[in-house]
Amino acid sequence: MTTLVWFRQDLRTTDNPALFAAADSGSVLPVYIHEDPQQTGDTHPMGGASKWWLHQSLTALKQKLPGLVFLKGDARHLIPKLARDAEVSNVFWNRRYEPHAMERDTEIKAVLKEEGFNGKSFKASLLFEPWELKTRTGGPFKVYSPFWKTAQNLEVPDALPAPEEIRFVECPLSGRLEDFDLLPSSPDWAAGWEDIWKPGEDGALKRLNSFLTTGLPGYGELRNRPDLQNVSRLSPHIHFGEVSPRQVWHETRKRMLSNAETGNDGHKFLSEIAWREFAHHLLYHFPDLPSSNWRSTFDAYPWREEADDLKRWQRGETGYPIVDAGMRELWQTGYMHNRVRMIVASFLVKHLRIHWHHGEAWFRDTLLDADLANNSASWQWVTGSGADAAPYFRIFNPITQARKFDPEGHYVRRWVPALKNLEAPHLFEPFNAPQAALERAGVVLGKTYPLPIVDHAAARQAALDGYASVKAAG
């Protein structure tokens, strides 16, 4: 019996239920299909950084699965065609939860059934299916704490091993990964990323292991420090399914058991994994999350359409060093630390009063871990328009945030080298530094480093004034 395995965001061989079941029942035809978002109806298509990762990750998967076939086109036509041409009995895949993907999966499953194939999907990229967790009244969760309280008491099944043996069959169609055109060329803005990131299953497992050894101790407190190495940086690996949340869960629990001192840190880390589960739960139950304010009163907010300000934010030229450091880290590495994501996002929607859609789109294009559920839920969370969101009137002060979470200024100095010689108290607010301190550090405001785009106190007040419209609408 032959099974076609359709790979998507599950680019791994271990704990891959679709692949495991296929290998168990006979020979396997593994396929990855690159689709045109215009055909799939994907309103939030993959950005440039994610495409770079995907290329590397598929290259790594091909090394593990030499029979993997790369095809370009519409999966709605290609999957049934392949099933017919290769005379397979089963078509297996692991589930995705983006609204457009679920719609198409249902369509494909129906076509397969009609044609007599056994189309089957599996749970692989979440710990808990969004429909498995319910509030006491039977509805979806809208608040994270009860969601996590319920989730942490549920059993998480063991992760599956990689199939012991995989027998591949010849594919009647052929294509090349290069034809997907995923890599940037001129300019190659991803040059050097191979030195920072190791996409693929082996890189993911290595990173998980090294994080659990060196980053987990202290994670609970130090996860807020962008100048330290206490977060896992697993997010792109998890997004592309190079490691499963089940593997992360059980490996973390093992460490917690073997070293009781990491108990609280491990618990905190798993609670972050649960934020990802919560974001997917929200996306499944509220499929408009990426496009509409979850709290519709925010439709009344008087957003500014200021292309120049947006560009300065994107380029890291706001004149607020912690914001600029974050935006430059993002551009140069495809990653930004969570604390800094919150600061820069708050700055865009509150200090600049620019709609979160613009921030979501920029993050989607530049983040290696760009993820529809996490990105939309997080942007709405920061804005205050989302489920269980931070209140709008709590406006991050980018100066005090930097002092608190980058106390020695290592993070800012690394990403904004023009300020590297400025002493710590002035480093986070060069526009308030005495002229002599600026001169000693070789900083000329407006030349070597930008003047601030807005005045913090005035911007804060304007944001609060705008919020009055939201309150009035409620």
Segment 376-415, which members bind ligand FAD (CB under 6 A)? Answer: 378-379, 382
Per the annotation, the verdict on 6 as an active-site residue is no
Cα radius of gyration rounded to whole Å, the chain: 24
Query: Which of 11, 243, 345, 441 is close enough to bind ligand FAD by CB under 6 A?
Result: 345
CB of 215 to ligand FAD, least distance (A): 7
**Which residue of the set 118, 189, 251, 275 is catalytic?**
275
Contact between 341 and ligand FAD by CB under 6 A: the answer reads: yes
**Contacts with ligand FAD in 362-381 (CB under 6 A)?**
363, 367, 369-371, 374-375, 378-379
Please give the Cα distance from 231 to 222 (Å, whole number).
Answer: 8
CB of 252 to ligand FAD, least distance (A): 10
Q: Is 432 noted as a catalytic residue in this protein?
A: no
Catalytic residue among 197, 249, 294, 356: 356
DSSP string, 387-416: TTPPPTT----HHHHHHHHSTT-HHHHHH-
Q: Report the residue number, 190 or 231, with the smaller CB distance to ligand FAD.
A: 231
The set of residues, in sequence order, having a beta carbon less than 8 Å from that of 75 and lying 6+ positions away, is: 6, 33, 35, 40, 104, 108
Does the footprint of ligand FAD cover residue 346 (CB under 6 A)? no
In contact, 384 and 298? CB cutoff 8 Å:
yes
Tokens 């601030």 — which residue?
Answer: 452
DSSP 15-79: T-HHHHHHHHHSEEEEEEEE--HHHHT-SS---HHHHHHHHHHHHHHHHH-TT-EEEES-HHHHH
**Subset of 227-286 contacting ligand FAD (CB under 6 A):** 231-235, 238-239, 272-273, 275-276, 279
Question: Is 379 in the active site?
Answer: yes
Q: Which residues of 176-187 are buried (b: 16+ CB within 10 A; e: fewer)?
A: ebeebebeeeee
CB of 247 to ligand FAD, least distance (A): 13
Active site residue 356: yes
Token readout for 279 is 């974001």
Nearer to ligand FAD, 259 or 338 (CB): 338
57 or 90: CB nearest ligand FAD: 57
Is 274 in contact with 151 (CB distance < 8 Å)?
yes
- Report the alpha-carbon distance of residue 311 to residue 104 in Å, rounded: 36
In the set 52, 379, 381, 415, the catalytic residue is 379
Residue 259: active-site member: no
Minimal distance, residue 222 CB to ligand FAD, in Å:
10
Does 314 interact with ligand FAD (rule: CB under 6 A)?
A: no
Nearer to ligand FAD, 337 or 426 (CB): 337
Q: Among this protein's residues, is 331 annotated catalytic?
A: no
Does residue 187 have a cis bond before it (omega within 30 degrees)? yes
| CA nearest neighbour of 142 among 301, 295, 22 | 295
The distance of closest approach from Cβ of residue 298 to ligand FAD in the complex, given in angstroms and rounded to an integer, is 16
Is the CB of 223 or the CB of 413 nearer to ligand FAD? 223
Is the separation of the CB atoms in 216 and 233 below 8 Å?
A: no
Instruction: Point out which residues bind ligand FAD (CB under 6 A).
Output: 223, 231-235, 238-239, 272-273, 275-276, 279, 338, 341-342, 345, 363, 367, 369-371, 374-375, 378-379, 382
Residues involved in catalysis? 272, 275, 303, 338, 356, 379
